[in-house]
Structure 1
Amino acid sequence: MATNKEIAKEVVSAVGGEENIQSVTHCATRLRVMVKDREKIDEEKVEDIEKVKGAFFNSGQYQIIFGTGTVNKIYEEVTGLGIAEQTTQETKEAKVADKNAFQKAIRTFGDVFVPIIPVLVATGLFMGLRGLLTQEQVLAVFGLTPESISANFLMYTQVLTDTAFAFLPALVAWSAFRVFGGSPVIGIVLGLMLVNPALPNAYEVAAGTVEPITMFGFIPVVGYQGTVLPAFIAGFVGAKLERAIRKRVPEYLDLLLTPFLTLLLMSILSLFIIGPVFHSLEEVILHATIWVLQLPFGLAGLIIGGLNQLIVVTGVHHIFNFLEVQLLSNTGVNPYNAIITNSVAAQGGATLAVAMKTKSKKLKALAFPSALSAFLGITEPAIFGVNLRYVKPFAFGLVGGAVGGMLAELLQLEGTGMSVTVIPGALLYLNSQLPWYILVNVVAIGVAFALTYFLGFTDKEAKNIDAA
């Protein structure tokens, strides 16, 4: 078995040598290489390197899939050979390359929402655990009842589950300021202004227990707890405004005037214009999303579950982060997660079928870990390393995702969080939904596995594709 250092040397050689590499970086699963001349890459040689699970060219980068954990070690060895690390500016340029306006807009959404997803994942897991700990059946095992749980303990669990969503505008505004070139700390304060306790609480206003404040006789003003779009727009406008002010303010007055004017002007714009207008738009989007998810006969699950991984391949799936955050912050549940987890599981099922049917030791060594990665919620090794390569497994994975998604919709499964799926995603369904969650995933995996095993893959077809 080759060492990571030897693999790193093979990678450098296969992409055209050090002289052809401009810089290198990595993400959770892929080594991303910026090359000077794409024609010098020996793609067959790259595919044959040990531990490589697939490779493709995208967004100005040659991306080699190694999988979680492994990619970090290979990256260290590659940079240890003297290859330059990719700068932040190069990363931005690579992302922008080869993308149209729509793709760039979706990428921007992703850049804003991806950094705040970890705390929303943690919050979702807290919700799931809280649901588990307050179930009568679970408490009975320990000789307890719901009434015996300490009120102080319940308050503590509420702190864990409510904080991120109560102050969500601060997180979104912080991230938007960071992405659009403003000062993130100004974004945090602006976001906190949107949920200041002095304003009527949005949830209480929605419940009809509190009235909005009326400004200038006609503008209703409330807090924006749990909102996403107003904070996003405020962050975008605020970052641009701060940069414009900074250019015009003398340096010796910058520290004094720039944050003062930015927060003053943005508080007025956010509370009196951006907030009311975009919160109304957000409500429309939310109700439209809920309407789609409530289509009869499981149609939403069928369509979303079937197309989700195809959308992931195109790279425009980040728009759904916004919808998931919006669902969670306004309804407390996420039926979208219950659907897409099946699309992820199904790709793993298709890859597992390839692994079990092929007689190729190398393909087995690639497919088995890729299937496991999919069952842990990461489908890139399965999709790019196996399923798309042989086409039919990917198509049957989409079918499995559609069937599982439809079943999840019919069973009305609703996750308590986002961004974790399949095995880790079970933690989002501990509130009595776990048996049904396991069932829909098993169905998605089983359909994709059976179709791929019996109809979607043979070693002979694979050899013809690889030889093409």
Structure 2
Amino acid sequence: MSENRKIAEELIEAIGGKENIDSVAHCATRLRIMVNDKEKIDQKRVEEIDKVKGAFYNSGQYQVIFGTGTVNRIHEEVINLGASESSKGEQKEQQKKQGNAFQRAIRTFGDVFVPIIPVLVATGLFMGLRGLLTQEEILAVFGLAPEDISENFLLFTQVLTDTAFAFLPALVAWSAFRVFGGSPIIGIVLGLMLVSPALPNAWDVAENPDLALEFLGFIPVIGYQGSVLPAFIAGFVGAKLERWIRKRVPEALDLILTPFLTLLIMITLALFIIGPVFHAVEAAVMAATTALLNMPFGISGLIIGGLHQIIVITGVHHIFNFLEIQLLNELAENPFNAIISCAIAAQGAAALAVGLKTKSKKLKALALPSSFSAFLGITEPAIFGVNLRYMKPFIMGLVGGAAGGFFASLVGLAGSGMAVTVIPGTLLYLGPEIFFYLLANLIAAGVAFTLTYLFGFTDKMKEEMDS
């Protein structure tokens, strides 16, 4: 019998047998199991299985962390043993019925924004590279000065860095239509209408409010370049409207009438009601976020750095995607990224301390790779596999995150993009701020590692937990 098959058998038994498994799917690192009764899961037994790096129940799924590559093979063995296979899409449909209304809403919010993040990551990296290549010190190495850079080169970099935000409503509306059951192509066109060149440009209006058009003497009509919430709401309402219309028009006229009526009604609503109302809401959220980030004496970093990973384990951290996108759009920089990078580095350092201090070979094999994963920006193996299991390392990680976040906030550290942190995140700080970025992460990691090593973990704690 192969090792992976033995692991699959042990896992099925620990979960409560095949009869307790509704369906099984997997992502890049985790086996995702829909169970019929979570009370039948033997958590301790699952965690003791070889190659398991952590396991937790969240949003209707029992998720077992195996890591890249391994999870594919374990999934195959579990299916071969008779468990029912499902796609991630089918499991998402089942998940929608799980959790309270707030959890479902945040999960849906994440479903809309997560597919957009890769292009925003790329845009942030382009911004960082442009900043690096136009620095006077860097140019001097090649015997150049800022005035030697051609306008055509600057135009090329502008295409790379500005396009995603200029057409952001199209991306958001496309994704919202996709998630809420509409036709994504209608979503794209609706989003493009919101940034039509025929409308006053949002950034120009921000500098000169007199450029806004005014309908009926009181409704301001502008383009929504870089805006998120109006496009999200328009996408949600538009998808529902399209489905409603499609059910009521004759099939022979569906191709003509459904997109025509959907776009006509939705652009009217978007420009005259949804846009003005939710643009104001968006501005209020942004003002509150900016006020928090601008709190004096590093207080904002202390709060966000200390609490961010608690929010991550609740699964509602996708709401931050919206805030980071708005920060980049409004400020052309992202101070939130620097702070949460410290929170992530601290959890990795806490897991590293456990791995170096323990004499247990199995715990070392779990903690050390998990800490490296956190330093690459993925904390789930470290949090669920190590730190939360013994609790104190997790708390020490929170303290380290607060310390690093405090420093990052104190020096005004901000990245050029989002969604990459710690080691990969250095690409967002390619300039004079790179020293402060590295120092902030070292402070976070150093505090978390030292506190965990000295006070946060002993093998006696492990023995008590395992007994």
TM-score by length of 1: 0.95
Other structure's SS at 1:174 match: helix
Which residue of structure 2 lines up, in the alignment, with residue 91 of structure 1?
92
CA displacement at 1:34 relative to structure 2:
1.4
Which residue of structure 2 lines up, in the alignment, with residue 331 of structure 1?
331
Distance 1:284 1:436, change over 3 A: same
Which residue of structure 2 lines up, in the alignment, with residue 227 of structure 1?
227
Other structure's SS at 1:431 match: coil
For 2:431 and 2:5, the matched residues in 1 are separated by 46
Distance 1:80 1:162, change over 3 A: farther
For 2:215 and 2:58, the matched residues in 1 are separated by 50
Deviations, residues 29-65 of structure 1 (Å, cap 9, x unaligned): 3211112343543433322222211112222222101
Which aligned pairs between 1:157-176 and structure 2 lie closer than 5 A? 157-176=157-176
Which aligned pairs between 1:4-403 and structure 2 lie closer than 5 A? 4-81=4-81, 83-87=83-87, 88-97=89-98, 99-208=99-208, 211-403=211-403
Distance 1:38 1:215, change over 3 A: closer
Distance 1:160 1:357, change over 3 A: same
Deviations, residues 75-112 of structure 1 (Å, cap 9, x unaligned): 34434555332243432222541x22222221121111
Task: Give the counterpart letter for 1:373 in structure 2.
Answer: S
Distance 1:141 1:5, change over 3 A: farther
CA displacement at 1:431 relative to structure 2:
2.9
For 2:146 and 2:76, the matched residues in 1 are separated by 51
**Contact preservation (8 Å) 1:351, 1:367:** yes
CA displacement at 1:215 relative to structure 2:
2.2
Which aligned pairs between 1:427-438 and structure 2 lie closer than 5 A? 427-438=427-438
For 1:147 and 1:10, the matched residues in 2 are separated by 67
CA displacement at 1:244 relative to structure 2:
1.1
Other structure's SS at 1:262 match: helix
Other structure's SS at 1:402 match: helix
For 1:189 and 1:76, the matched residues in 2 are separated by 41
Task: Give the counterpart letter for 1:302 in structure 2.
Answer: L
Task: Give the counterpart letter for 2:21 in structure 1.
Answer: I
Identical pairs, percent:
70
Q: Which runs of 5+ in 1 are unaligned?
A: none
For 1:45 and 1:456, the matched residues in 2 are separated by 24
CA displacement at 1:443 relative to structure 2:
0.2
For 1:218 and 1:19, the matched residues in 2 are separated by 63
Distance 1:66 1:210, change over 3 A: farther
For 1:23 and 1:54, the matched residues in 2 are separated by 20
**Contact preservation (8 Å) 1:112, 1:176:** yes
For 1:147 and 1:3, the matched residues in 2 are separated by 63
Distance 1:393 1:2, change over 3 A: farther
Per mean C-alpha deviation after superposition, the further-off stretch among 132-141 and 419-428 is: 132-141
CA displacement at 1:235 relative to structure 2:
0.6
Per mean C-alpha deviation after superposition, the further-off stretch among 314-323 and 9-18 is: 9-18
Task: Give the counterpart letter for 1:38 in structure 2.
Answer: K
Per mean C-alpha deviation after superposition, the further-off stretch among 280-289 and 447-456 is: 280-289
**Contact preservation (8 Å) 1:204, 1:210:** no
Per mean C-alpha deviation after superposition, the further-off stretch among 391-400 and 77-86 is: 77-86
Deviations, residues 174-200 of structure 1 (Å, cap 9, x unaligned): 111111111111111000000001111
Distance 1:304 1:244, change over 3 A: same
Task: Give the counterpart letter for 1:239 in structure 2.
Answer: A
Task: Give the counterpart letter for 1:104 in structure 2.
Answer: R
For 1:9 and 1:157, the matched residues in 2 are separated by 54
Other structure's SS at 1:363 match: helix
Other structure's SS at 2:211 match: coil
Deviations, residues 419-444 of structure 1 (Å, cap 9, x unaligned): 11100011111132111000000000
For 2:101 and 2:463, the matched residues in 1 are separated by 39
For 1:356 and 1:235, the matched residues in 2 are separated by 50
CA displacement at 1:448 relative to structure 2:
0.3
For 2:204 and 2:68, the matched residues in 1 are separated by 44
For 1:145 and 1:316, the matched residues in 2 are separated by 47
For 1:248 and 1:95, the matched residues in 2 are separated by 26
Task: Give the counterpart letter for 1:121 in structure 2.
Answer: V
CA displacement at 1:149 relative to structure 2:
2.1
Other structure's SS at 1:57 match: strand
Q: Which runs of 5+ in 2 are unaligned?
A: none
Other structure's SS at 2:247 match: helix
For 1:130 and 1:83, the matched residues in 2 are separated by 51
**Contact preservation (8 Å) 1:4, 1:74:** yes
Other structure's SS at 1:198 match: coil
Other structure's SS at 2:196 match: coil
Deviations, residues 100-145 of structure 1 (Å, cap 9, x unaligned): 2222221121111111111111111111111111112222222222
CA displacement at 1:26 relative to structure 2:
2.0
Distance 1:80 1:142, change over 3 A: farther
TM-score by length of 2: 0.96
